[in-house]
Structure 1
Amino acid sequence: MFEAVEELIGEHADLEKRLADPAVHADQANARKLNKRYAELTPIIGTYRSWKLTGEDIETAREYAQDDPDFAAELKVLDKQRAELTEKLRLLLVPRDPHDEKDVILEVKAGEGGEESALFAGDLLRMYLRYAERVGWKTELIEANESDLGGYKDVQVAVKTKGGNGATEPGQGVWARLKYEGGVHRVQRVPATESQGRIHTSAAGVLVTPEAEEVEVEIGPNDLRIDVYRSSGPGGQSVNTTDSAVRITHLPSGLVVSCQNEKSQLQNKESAMRILRSRLLAAAQEEADQEASDARRSQVRTVDRSERIRTYNYPENRISDHRVGFKAYNLDQVLDGDLDAMIQACVDADSAAKLAAAGDAG
């Protein structure tokens, strides 16, 4: 696997030369692309050079250890460093998700369970908003359809790093962490609507898509049908006397996106287009994964996001992730945004599966 790094060293050096040329930065989109690739390669090259240098030090220490016992202890330290660098390099060379540095559009949708499901959808939204606050991300409400009791039938928010679309360091983007949240979330608790204290089970769905830039998704001028209508609030009461709500239909795919939160028709159209672009990008990636070989698919998507992924058990204060076997009894803290341990369990399982797939392919 490490032989491929020699080629990456050449690519890294070439990128360094190109980025030093002021003419390259005249095209900002291309410059961002080159900078992103340079940032991806830099930790790999640095770790590889340390790995090679440690190997040379081990050979030297081994020679001296034959005549000087003091070098035997140093040899043990160097062997440990070499093993650590080997594992780090293996992880860095695992095929990466090309969207990891992207910001996301996160949607929470009530499912089976009526008002209780809508209330749970509201709890999930608050959980993600608090998690974003903990890690220093920005959030922006795009569209919300509230229920009568204060929950959400459907709500969409943009979650982004403070620097905008894309993180400053590889693996630190919003998608890299939140992509594991997509799926069906099940809750077990006594609903606020339950008069006899019985525990009910209901569910809400979470959809997470990487936010696409305009250049990433091609939408032809004749691909869209745009309808406008009057916004309405809970119960169908009119909250707007002008046709400011927007519904966009992408004719080739049949995708339909509606937005009515903003007072301006133009703002609603822009919000709907953001959602549409992200969904089209996600659909294109899904199609690419399906067409790929079994080995490639296992590297790209090792955690199935289409099935029930998690259970929130209020009576036992228990949170369980069914994909990776994670279980903890701090549900109250998780709902307050303490998601790191649970997300890290998914990240670790994903990395392990990708390493195994890479080993099988090799």
Structure 2
Amino acid sequence: MKRSSLLNQFEVLEKKFHEISNFILKPLSNQKKYKILFKEYQKLKKIMSLYERYKNKLFSLQEAKNVLENDSDPEMKEIASLEKKKILEDLSSIEKESYNFLLSDSITEVEEDHRNAIVELRSGTGGYEACLFVEDILRMYIMYFKQVGWKYEILHSQKGGIKGYKEIILEVSGNDVKKKGGVYSNLKLESGVHRVQRIPRTESQGRIHTSAITVAVLPEIKSVEMNIDLSDIKKETFRSSGAGGQHVNKTESAVRLTHITSKITVECQEERSQHKNFEKAMKVLRSRIYKNEMEKRIKERSIKRKSLISTGDRSVKIRTYNYPKSRVTDHRIHKSIYDIVGFMNGNIQEMIDLLKIFEEKNKKNQQLEL
């Protein structure tokens, strides 16, 4: 990590630290919000301690350089040279410690792992067959949720013609899976392109077709953690295109929200009430904005991610479901499971566990490179 980049991050966090410090000094009626802010304050306080040490070392380094450049006394230059070497070692140590803080804790992934999740499924290439595969993957996840005791709620759906879905968004909540992590921890590695190879029912000559869908998994963000200014949101209402009988044609209960700054747009039409659709849309919007901000931070830190597991890149194929060979292959870890029926019935924990192990090894390797 470049020194200038680290200093920029420290300065941003210092500003945030002072804002939270001032906020928690005021009396707050919302105790839940106070606890969240105080927890954040405690973590930022540790980072500010590192920042102070870092600034002191940089000041000492500059003094040593001045002696080496301007002092004519050979003995003083020798002392300054030894001092410079020691300071550079200390700076390197602080930089590594800072990197670990910035890569984990509240700033990035560790706390995210225990959150509930927003899961978005969308049809990609393949037309009607892709819409059917969205429905199949939805069923696979629902079967998995039942196995681990999680609950889910549909926030938004768009039918794909006669059957299947063009798009469906779920809120998934639950406890840790046998101490293997929370909802987001287990589902986040599902983000990416899922490809299916099979013979469609409408194919008379028995040819195998390939189609694809995208999966996006976002950590659920509470309103007390991200307060979006309503003046930054463009709200539109329209008539629902889903089920609902006469209600569909009479009321504009469906809601479309656009975050003006980030251009992120969310729609929700599942409920008969415009107010409830607004609340559901806000859940998705908060999670998308949060994820967008996290991706910006990662780029700013110039962290070199070597795997799609870490980036959650949705533009590259991560898994193939080959029906003729009864094979499910995850291309990130080159793992194949020859039981597509069992996999599609929700038996996906083995693959998830292998991905988590691989991700952990990846993170350790990245830290060793610093």
TM-score w.r.t. length of structure 1? 0.70
Residues 235-260 of structure 1: CA deviation (Å, up to 9, x unaligned): xx983411111111111111111111
CA distance in structure 1 between the partners assigned to 2:178 and 2:33 by the alignment: 18
State whether structure 2 residue 141 is matched by structure 1 residue 132.
Answer: no
Describe the superposition over 1:48-78 as per-residue Cα deviations: whole angstroms up to 9, x where unpaired.
xxxxxxxxxxxxxxxxxxxxxxxxxxxxxxx
TM-aligned CA distance change 1:327 to 1:300, over 3 Å: closer
For residue 305 of structure 1, what is the aligned residue in structure 2? 313
| Deviation, structure 1 residue 104 | 0.6
Q: Is the 8 A contact 2:323 2:340 kept in 1?
A: yes
5+ residue gaps, structure 2, are 1-26, 43-100
**Counterpart residue number, 2:330:** 321
Alpha-carbon separation, structure 2, partners of 1:113 and 1:260: 25
Q: Distance in 2 between matches of 1:156 and 1:302?
A: 22
Q: How does 1:281-296 map to 2 (within 5 A)?
A: 281-294=290-303
Cα distance in 2 between the residues matched to 1:112 and 1:299: 24
> For the structure 1 residues 254 and 199, does the alpha-carbon distance in structure 2 shift closer, same or farther, using more than 3 Å as the test?
same
Q: Is the 8 A contact 1:299 1:354 kept in 2?
A: no
Compared with structure 1, are the counterparts of its residues 150 and 238 closer, same or farther at alpha carbon in structure 2 (3 Å cutoff)?
Answer: farther
Amino acid at match of 2:364: L
Calculate percent identity across the aligned residue pairs. Answer: 38
Q: 5 Å matches for 1:258-277?
A: 258-277=267-286
Match of 2:231 among 222, 236, 240: 222
Post-superposition shift, 1:136?
Answer: 1.0
Residue in 2 aligned with 1:331? 340
Alignment of 1:145-160 (within 5 A): 145-160=158-173
User: 1:196 Cα deviation (Å)?
Assistant: 2.1
Structure 1 position 355, deviation (Å): 1.6
Kept in 2, the 8 Å contact 1:303–1:323? The answer is no
Which residue in the other structure is 2:188 paired with? 179
Q: Which residue of 1 aligns with 2:31?
A: 27
CA contact 1:299–1:357 (8 Å) conserved in 2: no
The answer on whether the counterparts of 1:320 and 1:327 sit within 8 Å (CA) in structure 2 is yes
SS in 2 for 1:216: coil
Residues 224/34 of structure 1: CA separation in 2 closer, same or farther (3 Å cut): closer
2:231 and 2:271 mapped to 1: Cα distance?
A: 25
CA distance in 1: counterparts of 2:329 and 2:278, whole angstroms: 39
Secondary structure, aligned partner of 1:302? helix
Paired residues of 2:242 and 2:269 also in contact (CA < 8 A) = no
Which residue of the other structure, out of 114, 117, 120, is the alignment partner of 1:107? 120
State the match for 1:53 in structure 2. none
Q: 1:252 to 1:170 in 2, by over 3 A?
A: farther
Deviations 1:283-312 (A, max 9, x none): 0111011111336x5699635533110000
Distance 1:170 1:284 in 2: 29
List alignment gaps of at least 5 residues for structure 1.
1-22, 39-92
C-alpha contact 1:146 1:154 (8 A) present in aligned 2 = yes
Report if aligned partners of 1:111, 1:203 keep a CA contact under 8 Å in 2: yes
Counterpart CA distance in 1 for 2:41 and 2:138 is 33
* Aligned Cα root-mean-square deviation (Å): 3.2
Q: Residue 161 of structure 1 corresponds to which residue in structure 2?
A: 174
Q: Which amino acid counterpart does residue 305 of structure 1 have in structure 2?
A: D
Within 2, Cα distance between the matches of 1:25 and 1:251? 31
Q: How many residues align?
A: 280
- Evaluate the alpha carbon distance shift between residue 225 and residue 35 of structure 1 in structure 2; reply closer, same or farther with a 3 A threshold: closer
Match of 1:116 in 2: 129
